[in-house]
Structure 1
């Protein structure tokens, strides 16, 4: 491991740069500031001056700037927390300015497309460790962040044999564990298929259901909003998520999402047939399976 990565008794890095202090990035900064175990010095980078001002007001970084290249010059670890569609462009700006031996990581919700976008900018003396913290809320921006966001949540690492050194993988895994997360390593392609069903498809369905409700006649739509039950309210919470971020996710993971959507549509048609033909056994079986999944999530501290 690089001698500028400290021992476990001290901050993991001397300088950590977070590019994009939104929900994820700001939460990392909150955790780093609260515990003092991630880095001695914290730098936040954002192109939005309003966000920069807010990060300063929150006091979660030692330095706040809009100049990414300057910010990363002496960093031990650079974390890209920007929308997946912007990862390649940002990497092309910061990687040439990074010092030799530094670590680049990201928090993108899709991995294959993000890796393909970042790889052309990589240097042989920079280790790149792709990662994805499986945590979030429907809120965005610096004010959305909080120190306990990652507690007992999963962070999936998708290291690459040719660009992820063992010491860099260990450092990034330790970073997320110190943020409170559980960690697991998997191939980028497998990651994208898993996330397509557990994260991306549920969001797609929530956006679609809310769109369907909005397209109803005015009187019915008003009643939907007036009498919304807990199930619909849950969908609206998910549907309140950032539209640009989710547009990028859908487009960058299109093959896996379309595969899972096709499977879901087949299952939805099967449920429709069961309702039409009074197949109560099938209906009860599906509901029971749903209940079992919910119990498993609770037992695994993921609900």
Structure 2
């Protein structure tokens, strides 16, 4: 049940997977005290659970997810997208009637389809995706203000109840996020261009640099300018998480990659034939996008 009388969204919030996103939610909940009265972290690693308690992020941390979710009023799945289905299959049967299930997966079609077989009519499900992060992972990586002024995309399903949707909206608003709702399919197309493709390019560029002849490679690493350093920051992200994201959103990602490759070829032709006007137009459009991000508080 929601803890409206005490000013919290939920009485007991269980975060499954206290990594960057999960531990940031826990930090926010501890710092402000408006998300839940009781916080429980679940992880399959006893060492991670011990670290959560050392950091004071939760009231309880346990490897026994089934027992934890049985007491939950909200269960937030913060595991890699490739693991969502299996984790839901294990935990959803143990949830009490009326408890809310939500997730923070970076892809929505694959995640909602993976979770669908485990859904119950008496457990409302609200898919969500907070678009915030760093290249770091684990419970030590969390930040209390990670979601401040960042978008959280909600993709409610036909069976999502208005009450559960409002509770999750309130939770993310209290985390500092800005909200937008869309369908899972539209979410995946948007994220393919604004998040997934940039990460794919960053991993690929760093791989290209790593494959260069040794002398050139050492100079690349010694003399790396800001542009390359920005790519390396993105490329430092968790490999398992991004492997799962690329595979889970393959259709939208490949579509956006194809369009990018066509544009890259057009830029190559402009450089080859000295088409200065085309080159300047592309650079100016990039500058305008940067300006828009700054004005929209996303940079």
**3-state SS of paired residue (1:159):** coil
Mapped to 1, the partners of 2:226 and 2:175 lie a distance apart of: 32
Say which of 198, 201, 207 aligns to 1:202.
198
| Aligned-CA RMSD value | 0.7
5+ residue gaps, structure 2, are none
After superposition, where does 1:55-94 map in structure 2 within 5 Å? 55-94=52-91
Q: Out of 4-13 and 218-227, give the one that drifted further.
A: 4-13
Per-residue CA shift, 1:266-288, capped at 9, x if unaligned?
00000000000000000000000
Mapped to 1, the partners of 2:297 and 2:65 lie a distance apart of: 37
Q: Deviation of residue 6 (structure 1)? A: 2.6
TM-score, normalised on structure 1?
Answer: 0.98
After superposition, where does 1:126-205 map in structure 2 within 5 Å? 126-162=123-159, 164-205=160-201
Whether 1:241 aligns to 2:237 is yes
Whether 1:279 aligns to 2:275 is yes
Per-residue CA shift, 1:185-204, capped at 9, x if unaligned?
00000000000000000000
5+ residue gaps, structure 1, are none
Mapped to 2, the partners of 1:301 and 1:74 lie a distance apart of: 38
Per-residue CA shift, 1:85-107, capped at 9, x if unaligned?
00000000110000000100000
Per-residue CA shift, 1:34-92, capped at 9, x if unaligned?
00000000000001122111101100100000011000102110000000000000000
**3-state SS of paired residue (2:180):** strand
Whether 1:14 aligns to 2:35 is no
Match of 2:108 in 1: 111
**3-state SS of paired residue (1:61):** coil
Match of 1:54 in 2: 51
Mapped to 1, the partners of 2:65 and 2:179 lie a distance apart of: 28
Whether 1:221 aligns to 2:217 is yes
1:8–1:216 CA distance, 2 compared to 1 (3 A): farther
Q: How many residues align?
A: 299
Q: Segments of 4+ in structure 1 off by > 3 A?
A: none
